[in-house]
Structure 1
Amino acid sequence: MEQKEYEEISEPGAAPYGNFINYYTFNPPEKRVSLIPEQLLHQLFGGREHERQLLGLDVGCNSGDLTVALYRHLIGLNQNVKNEMGYANGIEMSLLGCDIDSRLIQRATESNPFPAGISYSVLNIMDASSRKSILEAYLSQYKRSHFDVCFCMSLTMWIHLNHGDSGLLEFLSVVSGLCNILLVEPQPWKCYRSAARRLRKLGKSTFDHFKTLAIKGDIADKITHFLTTACDMELLEILGNTCWDRSLLLFRKRISTKPFCVADEQS
């Protein structure tokens, strides 16, 4: 990678999909993970983790730092433990991290301390064909049709800015349909304005959809409304707010419905 290219994608906000290289130097994973209860999987799955392996999906994983932190935290691994098989504290879990940027996925793969428990794949989650083939291939390894839990951490803004209002709603429909439990960390509206401003300062064109977005204001509230009214999800809890004033919203598929199967998607 040329030095100029590296500097451009290292600049906060310069990458159009939020795929900047040094993201976790200014938004450390520990600050978000600390808001998640250590016994969350026990609480959510009521002992069923002893019966089968839990599957997780981290959408927009960047270089994998948060993926690893989530994995450690949720299965109860000590920070000094490496190369475990994804089983600790009575929980067995496999986690797939995906990102649109192949360079970030390469970095995540090369630095992965848990290759038996964490996998990474290049994926544009908004590409239905790629989404179907990649996620279906992963799930088929476990003879499963959906994930137990899906993480969407500081991702919704980038989907929204690049795909507009309809794209955001499509994204929420897709990810909520892939899992039983969904954890979303939406960026507030002030982050949208900051991202557009930083892009302009770098002499780049602003996001195509920014000026035409109708979904604005209290983004977390609007995402919650859509998930609970159009996606058969219920809001279990707001786990807290990060130092950047981003809420961690925990949703669960309503008992009367079942998750959407990846295999059911149209080619």
Structure 2
Amino acid sequence: MAERNEKKRKRIENTQKQQNKKQDGEVKKEERDGNSEEMAKKGQEIQAKSNSNKKFKKVFPYGNYKSYYGYRIGKGPEREEDPRIRVLKKEWFEGKDCLDIGCNSGVVTIQIAKKYNCKSILGLDIDSALIEEAFWYLRKFVKMEFAEKKNTNNTNVKAVQDVNESEQCTNKSSNEGADNGSSHQSSCERNLSDIVSFRQENFVRSRPHDKQYDTILCLSVTKWIHLNWGDDGLITAFGKIWRLLRPGGVFVLEPQPWSSYERNRRVSETTRSNYRDIKYRPDFFREMLLDKIGFRRVEVVTSDLSGTRTGFNRPIFAYYK
């Protein structure tokens, strides 16, 4: 009897142990499943965040980069002169009507006006946000210019000189009418806001301008015209530039190399497609502009631009109408 009870007790204990093991296994499985679900949820959140970043990543299919000059010449571009300006000739700008195609945020446009005293200079860009930024920079330059003049005029001697200079300006302005407007206005009569203007415009697709210009700049822009509108768009732009120039006018061109096209060909489906179809590479521009467009001669302004950052050491050419 005692032996049967002992066997029965052991069977009950074994059954209980098996049930406990089964319960422990189920608990651990639930924990594992719970951890897996939590890890999967975190993974989904990370993936969603990654996809969100990709979805809203800013692309610049027209080369319309923000802070372009800060990247190219360093911080505070309004304080630091773009190295390209040092190789440009004063005679191309002083007292001349000028056009800057693809001006970005307008820093170079303003610096040229300030240094060389253009009669007028218009900056164009396809990006309206960059044009707003260009006007912001213009206001900033005007304030800086006013502060510089104010500091210069602090002495009585300078005040007397200013009176004399003002009288000279008045006399000169009176004589300019007799010169049929050929002489440009003295800088003492105007500030940068009188000289510089900006406008949002797609130069390739826009209507012809009402006026002509003495100097037209196209600095690091041809690649973006070429990739977005192909060979036909580039030829259209070059032809329009030639027609907008007055006889004897100069077209200042800074083309990007073909290797630069390759790096940017995937920014949009349009650029990807046009890249494959391009026949007239940058090495052909000289022949195109002289033989097909009609410029009479070309001058190499610089083939090695010192003081610029890596990747921006590009040749600059001057084509004369």
Give the conservation status (yes or no) of the 8 Å contact 2:227–2:265.
no
**Aligned amino acid, residue 96 of structure 1:** L
Secondary structure at the counterpart of residue 34 of structure 1: helix
1:41 matched to 2:92? The reply is: yes
| Counterpart position of 2:116 | 74
What's the counterpart of residue 182 of structure 1?
251
* Distance apart, 1:188 and its partner CA: 0.6
Q: 175, 185, 210: which is aligned to 2:275?
A: 210
SS at match of 1:171: helix
What residue number does 2:48 align with?
A: none
Matched positions, count = 199
Matches within 5 A, 1:60-139: 60-75=102-117, 92-112=118-138, 113=141, 114-127=192-205, 130-132=206-208, 135-136=209-210, 139=211
Q: Look up the match of 1:147.
A: 213
Please list every run of 5 or more consecutive structure 1 residues that lacks an aligned counterpart in the other structure: 43-48, 76-91, 140-145, 254-267
Q: Which whole-Å CA distance do the structure 2 matches of 1:239 and 1:73 have between them? A: 18
How far apart, in 2, do the equivalents of 1:168 and 1:246 lie?
A: 19
Question: Are 2:92 and 2:250, in contact at CA under 8 Å, matched by a contact in 1?
Answer: no
SS in 1 for 2:193: coil
Deviation of the 1:245 alpha carbon: 3.5
For residues 23-38 of structure 1, the aligned pairs below 5 Å read 23-28=68-73, 30-37=82-89
Residues in 1 aligned to 2:231 and 2:196: alpha-carbon distance in whole angstroms: 32
Aligned equivalents of 1:194 and 1:234: distance in 2? 33
Q: Gapped runs of 5+ residues in structure 2?
A: 1-52, 74-80, 142-191
Q: Alignment partner of 1:21: what SS?
A: coil
Q: Is the 8 A contact 1:224 1:235 kept in 2?
A: no
1:209 counterpart letter in structure 2: N
Q: Following the alignment from structure 1 to structure 2, what is the Cα–Cα distance between the partners of residues 64 and 21?
A: 11
1:8 CA drift (Å): 4.1
Structure 1 distance, partners of 2:287, 2:217, is 18
The alpha-carbon deviation at position 206 of structure 1 amounts to 6.5
SS of the residue 1:124 aligns to: coil
Query: Which of the two has higher C-alpha Rg?
Result: 2
* Greater than 4 Å deviation, 4+ residue runs: none
C-alpha contact 1:235 1:249 (8 A) present in aligned 2: no
Give the TM-score normalised by the residue count of structure 2.
Answer: 0.57
Q: Identify the residue that residue 162 of structure 1 maps to in structure 2.
A: 228
* TM-score, length basis structure 1: 0.68
Task: Give the deviation of 1:157 after TM superposition.
Answer: 0.4
3-state SS of 1:56 partner? strand
SS at match of 1:111: helix
Q: Does the 8 Å contact 1:57/1:147 carry over to 2? A: yes
Structure 2 CA distance for aligned equivalents of residues 72 and 229 of structure 1: 35
Deviation at 1:231, TM superposition (A): 1.9
**Match for 1:174: what amino acid?**
K
Q: Which residue in 2 is equivalent to 1:16?
A: 61
CA deviation profile, 1:227-251 (whole Å, cap 9, x unmatched): 1112221334111133524211101
Question: Which structure has the highest helix share of the two?
Answer: 2
User: 1:100: Cα distance to partner?
Assistant: 0.6
Distance of aligned partners of 1:8 and 1:175 in 2 relative to their CA distance in 1, 3 Å threshold:
farther
Q: State the AA in 1 paired with 2:107.
A: D
Query: Residue 229 in 1 paired to residue 281 in 2?
Result: no
Which whole-Å deviations, capped at 9, do the CAs of 1:115-140 have from their partners, x for residues lacking one? 1100001111011xx333xx32xx3x
Kindly provide the amino acid, as one letter, of the partner of residue 23 in structure 1.
Answer: Y
The separation in 2 between residues aligned to 1:8 and 1:223, in whole angstroms, is 34
Report SS of the residue matched to 1:15: coil
**Matching residue's letter, 1:101:** D
